Amino acid sequence: MQDQQDIRWMKVALKYAYYAKSKGEIPIGSIIVLKERIIGIGWNSSVTKHDPTAHAEIMALRHAGKTIKNYRLVNSTLYVTLEPCIMCCGAIIHSRIKRLVFGTNCIKDNQEYSLKKIFIHLGSNYTIDIKNNIMKNKCSKILINFFQNKRKKNIIK
């Protein structure tokens, strides 16, 4: 049952990834769900907002905080199409998200980092339930296509 719910919500996060792509942003989308209701939405906006912190997760956290009028998002689940970076992990810890579900892992230079280790190091007594590889193929495909097209455009210039 939980897997079906995770797929349902990841499909919504993917819609925001496609929206980010349409704006020329790296295609990452995120939503925050509390009691079967979306309370926060976000997509990468760093380029359009001229803000290096405007990652999909951060935008969703900001929106959720405004929605429930509290920065503590206890008992909520954050869905994101790509594994969060260290900056976003810090914000997730501070918001007290209960559960993190992401689509595909972030692998750079063949170095995969462990989110669980990051959360243990940054959050000390904070625990979070992490689930990955939800709709992995679709979540990774949009990123792969985006960067392949970007490289082709850079070669042509």
User: Of 25, 36, 57, 83, which residue is the catalytic one?
Assistant: 57
* Closest C-alpha to 130, from 88, 90, 101: 101
**Is 89 annotated among the ligand-binding residues?**
no
**Is 55 annotated among the ligand-binding residues?**
yes
* Catalytic site includes residue 57: yes
3-state DSSP of the chain = CHHHHHHHHHHHHHHHHHHHHHCCCCCCEEEEEECCEEEEEEECCHHHHCCCCCCHHHHHHHHHHHHHCCCCCCCCEEEEEECCCHHHHHHHHHHCCCEEEEEECCEECCEECCHHHHHHHHHCCCCCEEECCCCHHHHHHHHHHHHHHHHHHHHHC
**Is 50 annotated among the ligand-binding residues?**
no
Which residue numbers are catalytic?
A: 57
Q: Detail the residues annotated as belonging to a binding site.
A: 55, 85, 88
Q: Detail the residues annotated as belonging to a binding site for Zn(2+).
A: 55, 85, 88
